């Protein structure tokens, strides 16, 4: 369903956010992306919804190359739950969820905020599924708690019946109980809708619990790819320890020994 | 001990604190002083000070005469009492219907005596001429209020025009929504051009095109303020939070829908504030724009001023003054409610 072919991403300031990423995610898989802060997880996900283009290499979605011509069409198959929610503040919960279906409605309807009743029913259904109540509907999103906003974001993502769901740290800054609830929700939603999920996380325990498959990136490189069972505590420690080294400017250039070990462990 | 050592790494550094001013500051100060002296003398600031002082001296009885004071006095005397009523000679009114007088008006016979020389007796004699006048006790006030209403309408339509012009301009002049570089530059320069043409100048030309009256007025106001609104709107679009826009962009919603759902809700309160400010400004501007013939109260003001009807001018000025004060209160309240 998703395929990366030796993808590199270099930002204009010289930051190498992705280096030689090759990856294939089959349809219906729940794939968790781990990696320390700044590893390139968000950049990896943004390749798939066209918010960022690879400097080198190619990205395929449902067998089609994501290019300038195809991106607008392919995007409709992809939904994103953003790291910072990215809801429109000062707009009601209802409109925020409905805006997830904007590509489907005409400009006239969109301009007048007159969404077809099928979409409105779907929005209600989704809001109910993510555990919001009818009194939230007319509130502005800025009047919701962080966890509630995240759920609005998830409801919005499912408005288009996406074939692919990108969830960028959907549970960062949420308390453990809500985190679990949200991940269960994503898991259930993707099962029900047969969605391929790429979900970045910071908690290895949660990754093991919910992922069908776990990959890890560090310094923009794919350093681990395996099943939840293969992600041992030792591997986790190495992964985050590598980050510590990098923060202190000790392993800026060459990949450290620990990384090669990680790759061996994964193989 | 160890930590102490770490804290004072720079023990050997030589410290010195500069005085806050140096020769450069002095030079700048001298430059500005010279600039003030030169421009001040060109603006006749000394004469202004001298004559104002003389006028004040006259007011407290220190000076025998003062040109400024006599000027002010003459204007004050001719303005007061303000003109409220309106009298029209009946014989000049076409199709006058004696039994059906306009509302709040009555007829009066006014006798005027004009002395003139009787050529036979060589004596001054008074000839009595009596005219029948239609007197409207608040006629002129009503007329001015009506003109003020027209002025407000001009400002309103100027603002509506400005909003309609500046919304598309702003979308094209926002770097992240312009379809291409050329249209972006075109929109930017149109906005600058609109802003650069003062209303009074464009109104002069528009009066030639559309004739005397409010059309020229509100077009001139609209074009000029579209220059401001376009700039403000465009900057807000550019500075709006990217998050919601990326969210909509990433599902392929397209630029127009993204603007509508990702940007507009964010910037709407600011837009309303700008638009109210422009309306406020247009009302003040609309009162004077009539001076070049573009309708509203300014046209009346100019006409009366040219005829030396200073009592009429006084009424107009008082009405303008009151309107601006009332609107200030009103818009301040409206703004605080919207924020
Ligand atoms: N627009 C940009 N310009 C330059 N560098 C960028 C840009 N966006 C991201 N980066 C850099 O790319 C690297 C990867 O960033 P990315 O956002 O993908 O990290 P992440 O894994 O999502 O981190 P986090 O867990 O903190 O969200 C970082 O070093 C970051 O500083
Ligand atoms: Mg991130």
B49-68 pLDDT, tens per residue?
999 999 999 888 888 888 88
Contacts of B246 in chain A (CB under 8 A): 51, 82, 86
Distance from the B325 Cα atom to the nearest Cα atom in chain A, whole angstroms: 33
How distant is the alpha carbon of residue B160 from its chain centre?
17
Candidates A33, A49, A86, A25; CA nearest to A220 is A33
Residue of A nearest to B259 (CA): A111
Mean pLDDT of all residues in chain B?
88
What's the mean pLDDT in B202-213?
Answer: 92
Which residues of A lie closer than 8 Å to B, measured between beta carbons?
49-51, 71-73, 75-76, 78-80, 82, 84-91, 95, 99-100, 102-103, 107, 110-111, 156, 160
Measured from the Cα of A13, ligand 1's closest atom is 4
Superfamily of domain A2-265: P-loop containing nucleotide triphosphate hydrolases (3.40.50.300)
Candidates A84, A112, A116; CA nearest to B241 is A84
Distance from the A88 Cα atom to the nearest Cα atom in chain B, whole angstroms: 5
Q: What is the pLDDT of residues B45-54, one digit of tens each?
A: 999 999 999 9
Candidates A168, A124, A164; CA nearest to A150 is A168
pLDDT value for B111: 80
Candidates A14, A66, A17, A2; CA nearest to A213 is A2
Q: Which residues surround ligand 2, an ion (CB under 5 A)?
A: A 42, 83
Taking an 8 Å cut-off on Cβ atoms, the answer to whether A88 and B265 are in contact is yes
Determine the distance separating the centroid of ligand 1 and the alpha carbon of A16, expressed in angstroms: 9
pLDDT value for A122: 94
Instruction: Supply B134's token pair.
Output: 């239609």
Residues of chain B with CATH 1.10.3720.10: 140-338
Of B177 and B18, the one with more pLDDT? B177
The CATH number of the domain covering residues in B140-338: 1.10.3720.10
| Residues of chain A above pLDDT 70, percent | 90
Instruction: Supply B155's token pair.
Output: 């400002």
Of A261 and B307, the one with more pLDDT? B307
Residue in A14, A40, A171 to alter for ligand 1 test, most ligand atoms within 8 A of Cβ: A40
Q: Are strands A2-10 and A213-218 parallel, antiparallel or unpaired?
A: unpaired
Taking an 8 Å cut-off on Cβ atoms, the answer to whether A100 and B265 are in contact is no
What pTM did the predictor assign?
A: 0.79
Of B37 and A176, the one with more pLDDT? B37
Residue B32 has pLDDT above 50, yes or no: yes
Contacts of B251 in chain A (CB under 8 A): 49, 75-76, 78-80, 100, 102-103, 160
Q: What is the pLDDT of residues B216-254, one digit of tens each?
A: 999 999 999 999 999 999 999 999 999 999 999 999 999
Taking an 8 Å cut-off on Cβ atoms, the answer to whether B252 and A103 are in contact is yes
pLDDT value for B10: 59
Which residue, among B246, B250, B264, B266, would best test binding to A if mutated, counting the most A CBs under 10 Å from its CB? Answer: B250
What's the mean pLDDT in A8-18?
Answer: 93
Question: Strand order in A30-34's β-sheet?
Answer: A78-81, A164-168, A196-200, A30-34, A213-218, A221-226
Q: How confident is the model at residue B87 (pLDDT cuts 50, 70, 90)?
A: confident
C-alpha torsion sign, points A114, A115, A118, A123? negative
Q: What is the pLDDT of residues A97-115, one digit of tens each?
A: 999 999 999 999 999 999 9
C-alpha torsion sign, points B35, B39, B44, B45? negative
pLDDT value for B62: 85
Residue A246 has pLDDT above 50, yes or no: no
Q: Are strands A78-81 and B106-118 parallel, antiparallel or unpaired?
A: unpaired
Which residue in this structure is represented by tokens 């906003």?
Answer: A149
Q: How confident is the model at residue B18 (pLDDT cuts 50, 70, 90)?
A: confident
pLDDT value for B339: 66
Strand ranges for chain B from DSSP E: 86-89, 106-118, 123-136
Of A245 and A160, the one with more pLDDT? A160
Mean pLDDT of all residues in chain A?
87
Q: What is the pLDDT of residues B257-272, one digit of tens each?
A: 999 999 999 999 899 8
Instruction: Supply A97's token pair.
Output: 């969820």
Going from N- to C-terminal start, the domains of chain A cover 2-265
Residue A252 has pLDDT above 70, yes or no: no
Q: What is the pLDDT of residues A49-97, one digit of tens each?
A: 999 999 999 999 999 999 999 999 999 999 999 999 999 999 999 999 9
pLDDT value for B7: 53
Determine the distance separating the centroid of ligand 1 and the alpha carbon of A44, expressed in angstroms: 10
Alpha-carbon distance B339 to B336, whole Å? 5
pLDDT value for B11: 63
Task: Determine the angle formed by the axes of helices B139-173 and B264-289, rounding to 10 degrees.
Answer: 140
ipTM of this predicted structure: 0.85
Determine the distance separating the centroid of ligand 1 and the alpha carbon of A23, expressed in angstroms: 19
pLDDT value for A242: 64
Q: Are strands A164-168 and A78-81 parallel, antiparallel or unpaired?
A: parallel
Candidates A153, A147, A149, A203; CA nearest to A173 is A147
Residue B146 has pLDDT above 90, yes or no: yes
Q: How confident is the model at residue B114 (pLDDT cuts 50, 70, 90)?
A: confident
Candidates B243, B284, B285, B250; CA nearest to B265 is B243
Alpha-carbon distance A41 to A217, whole Å? 7
The 3-state DSSP class for residue B306 equals helix
């Amino acid at each position: 369903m998703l395929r990366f072919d030796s993808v590199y991403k270099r930002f204009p300031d010289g930051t190498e956010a992705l280096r030689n990423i090759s990856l294939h995610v089959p349809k219906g898989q729940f794939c968790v992306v781990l990696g320390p802060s700044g590893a390139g997880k968000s950049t990896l996900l943004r390749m798939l919804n066209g918010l960022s283009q690879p400097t080198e290499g190619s990205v395929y979605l449902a067998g089609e190359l994501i290019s300038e011509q195809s991106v607008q069409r392919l995007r409709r198959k992809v939904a994103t739950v953003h790291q910072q929610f990215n809801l429109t503040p000062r707009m009601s919960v209802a409109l925020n969820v409905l805006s997830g279906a904007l590509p489907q409605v005409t400009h006239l309807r969109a301009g007048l905020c007159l969404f077809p009743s099928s979409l409105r029913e779907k929005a209600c259904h989704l809001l109910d599924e993510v555990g919001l109540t009818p009194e939230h509907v007319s509130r502005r999103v800025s009047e919701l708690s962080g966890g509630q906003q995240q759920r609005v974001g998830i409801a919005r993502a499912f408005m288009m019946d996406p074939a692919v769901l990108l969830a960028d740290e959907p549970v960062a800054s949420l308390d453990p109980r809500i985190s679990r609830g949200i991940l269960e929700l994503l898991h259930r939603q993707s099962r029900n809708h047969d969605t391929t999920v790429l979900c970045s996380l910071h908690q290895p325990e949660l990754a093991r619990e919910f992922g069908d498959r776990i990959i890890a990136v560090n310094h923009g490189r794919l350093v681990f790819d395996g099943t939840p069972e293969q992600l041992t505590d030792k591997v986790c420690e190495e992964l985050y320890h590598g980050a510590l080294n990098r923060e202190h400017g000790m392993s800026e250039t060459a990949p450290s020994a620990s990384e090669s070990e990680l790759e061996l462990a994964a193989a | 001990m160890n930590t102490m050592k770490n804290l004072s790494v720079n023990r050997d550094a030589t410290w010195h604190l500069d005085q806050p001013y140096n020769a450069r500051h002095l030079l700048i100060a001298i430059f500005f002083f010279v600039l003030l002296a030169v421009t001040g003398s060109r603006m006749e600031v000394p004469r202004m000070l001298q004559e104002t002082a003389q006028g004040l001296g006259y007011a407290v009885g220190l000076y025998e005469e003062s040109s400024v004071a006599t000027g002010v006095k003459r204007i004050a005397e001719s303005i007061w009492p303000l003109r409220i009523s309106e009298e029209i000679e009946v014989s000049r009114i076409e199709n006058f219907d004696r039994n059906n007088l306009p509302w709040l008006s009555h007829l009066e016979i006014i006798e005027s005596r004009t002395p003139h020389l009787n050529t036979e007796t060589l004596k001054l004699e008074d000839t009595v001429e009596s005219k029948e006048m239609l007197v409207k006790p608040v006629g002129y006030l009503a007329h001015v209020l009506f003109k003020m209403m027209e002025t407000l309408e001009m400002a309103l339509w100027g603002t509506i025009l400005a909003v309609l012009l500046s919304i598309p301009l702003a979308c094209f002049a926002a770097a992240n929504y312009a379809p291409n570089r050329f249209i972006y530059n075109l929109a930017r320069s149109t906005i600058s051009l609109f802003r650069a043409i003062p209303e009074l100048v464009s109104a002069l030309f528009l009066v030639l095109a559309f004739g005397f009256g409010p059309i020229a007025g509100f077009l001139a106001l609209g074009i000029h303020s579209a220059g401001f609104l376009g700039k403000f709107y465009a900057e807000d679009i550019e500075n709006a939070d990217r998050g919601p826009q990326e969210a909509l962009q990433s599902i392929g919603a397209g630029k127009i829908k993204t603007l509508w759902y990702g940007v507009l809700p964010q910037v709407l309160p600011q837009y309303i504030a700008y638009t109210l400010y422009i309306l406020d400004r247009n009302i003040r501007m609309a009162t004077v724009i009539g001076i070049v013939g573009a309708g509203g109260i300014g046209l009346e003001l100019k006409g009366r001023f040219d005829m030396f009807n200073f009592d009429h001018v006084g009424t107009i000025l008082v009405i303008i003054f009151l309107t601006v004060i009332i609107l200030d209160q009103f818009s301040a309240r409206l703004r605080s409610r919207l924020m």
